[in-house]
Chain A
């Protein structure tokens, strides 16, 4: 068995870390947009708003039912073919679009379940003191649903971070793309990808820490 080239690995760390900001940017923007879209979809589904509800059902079904990679290729290569004004849709834009639509469909379902789980009598209590539907969602239902949905949402956030690695197939040089290039130059594939794997791992671990902190905070109101 060949010996690992540790010096190469050490030298690679700062180089690859230089591409981490782009990975985090893809993941961060994807998360925020997916969360906003998921909340809208979930509310549409819960209130069964006519017409849009059916649109939401089909939307969720499609984006949950097809591979993310297929969706990314569809946006990156397919959209410019349909709309000539989009002669170039950047790899970054296509990735963010794909991550947003794909993960919002999953997140919408867990947010919907969490909303339904909020005790119905609290909804009536909010209406009885004269709140509008919007006020009751914002002040009473969503804060409590957030607590229930948080662990699953954090899982999707972790998935999003890892899914950004697919952006390299669209020619985006993020952490995965940079690793691929480095490895192709040095032929030290194992060293390069183990460094990349550990970087992803550490980022995800930090996110898990954040999750525990948030859960503890949100559960404060519910402990006896």
Chain B
């Protein structure tokens, strides 16, 4: 369970997120859509403190933190309850696919190497890259790198995986394999928050679609409602634009 109460983020005098209230159930798949530069990525980054939120409280699982009073230990604990998938994959360039996935267990959980690698191989199997265990990121395709990125997030066993435009940097030919893996995770009811412009993914997979504009939640609901019966003019306007270039 994830709960955001009055979460705000200011960069200097610029308000990027304003009083975001959000409650997400365990196993829920939430897709966040909206125009560029409206705070979607910042929202995800605030949840695991890659950005320090300006105000509000944050609950992930059994941990609630007032962001202004978050200690170093709180921030670390919050990060260990969440996982992040980056737009540009951000794999550790000095580690193999297997090591990228095992890193969390080796370093944070201090498992013995043998156990960490065995479990990492299980993840490689699940993401369909068992044959790439010893490959370094530089030798993998974008699609393979992003699947390892997702595998690394899976290995954290986090309450929620935060996907920040996971397919936006990919060549079109690799998009499907990454979305396919995300759908597989959704089927296993892994709690997910996904920022994406892939409207078909939102329609087919999301339990809830949230439309954000100007740092606020404008409208939210099941995909059928948001896509077919949007209420707010800004939602209508955005969907009209994006669905002409990116049809569902």
Interface residues of A (CB under 8 A from B): 119, 121-122, 124-132, 135, 139-140, 143-144, 147, 220-224
Decide if A122 touches B136 in the complex (CB within 8 Å): no
Question: Chain B's nearest CB lies how many Å from the CB of A57?
Answer: 26
Find out whether the CB atom of A128 lies under 8 angstroms from the CB atom of B107.
Answer: no
Query: Which listed residue, B76, B82, B92, B104, touches A122 by the CB 8 Å rule?
Result: B92
* Contact of A222 with B93 in the complex, beta carbons under 8 Å: yes
Other 18 A-B pairs with CB < 8 A, given A122-B93, A130-B104: A119-B90, A121-B88, A122-B91, A124-B84, A125-B91, A128-B48, A128-B82, A129-B156, A130-B76, A130-B79, A135-B108, A139-B103, A139-B107, A144-B93, A144-B94, A221-B95, A222-B138, A224-B139
Any A CB within 8 A of the CB of B152:
yes
In the complex, how many angstroms separate the beta carbon of A142 from the nearest chain B beta carbon? Answer: 10
B107 lies within 8 A of A125 (CB): no
User: CA A189 – CA B201 in complex, angstroms?
Assistant: 82
Residues of A within 8 A of B183 (CB): none
Among B155-181, those with CB < 8 Å from A are 155-156
Tell me, in angstroms, the Cα distance from A222 to B153 when the chains sit together. Answer: 23
Q: In the bound complex, do residue B80 and residue A221 qualify as a contact, i.e. CB atoms below 8 Å apart?
A: no
B211 at the interface (CB under 8 A from A): no
Instruction: Point out the residues of chain A lying under 8 angstroms from B96, CB to CB.
Output: 221
Find out whether the CB atom of B139 lies under 8 angstroms from the CB atom of A124.
no
| Proximity string of chain B (75-116) to chain A, C-beta cutoff 8 Å, 1 when within and 0 when not | 010011011101010111111100000011001100000000
Complex Cα–Cα for A130 and B74 (A): 11
| Interface of A: prevailing SS | helix
Q: Which residues of A contact B149 (CB under 8 A)?
A: 125
Please tell me if the beta carbons of A130 and B80 are within 8 angstroms of each other in the complex. yes
- Cα A14 to Cα B156 in complex, Å, equals 61
Rounded to whole angstroms, the CA-CA distance of A119 and B139 in the bound complex is 17
- Measured CB to CB, the closest approach of chain B to A58, in angstroms, equals 29
**What is the size category of the interface that chain B forms with chain A?**
20 to 34
Are the CB atoms of B79 and A128 closer together than 8 Å? yes
Residues of B within 8 A of A140 (CB): 92, 94
Binding site for A on B (CB under 8 A): 48, 50, 76, 79-80, 82-84, 86, 88, 90-96, 103-104, 107-108, 136, 138-139, 149, 152-153, 155-156
**B153 CB contacts on chain A under 8 angstroms:** 129
Q: Which 5 A-B pairs give the minimum distances between C-beta atoms?
A: A130-B80, A128-B84, A121-B90, A125-B90, A221-B136
Check if A129 sits within 8 Å of B103, measured CB to CB.
yes
- Bound-state Cα–Cα, A35 to B94, Å: 21
What residues of chain B lie closer than 8 Å to A223, measured between beta carbons? 138-139
Jot down 25 A-B pairs with beta carbons below 8 A, ordered by A: A119-B93, A122-B92, A124-B84, A124-B86, A125-B86, A125-B152, A127-B50, A129-B83, A129-B103, A129-B104, A129-B155, A129-B156, A130-B76, A130-B156, A135-B107, A139-B103, A140-B94, A221-B93, A221-B94, A221-B95, A221-B96, A221-B138, A222-B93, A223-B139, A224-B138
CB pair A122–B139 under 8 Å, yes or no, is: no
A175 shortest CB reach to chain B, Å = 38
- Min CB gap B178→A, angstroms: 17
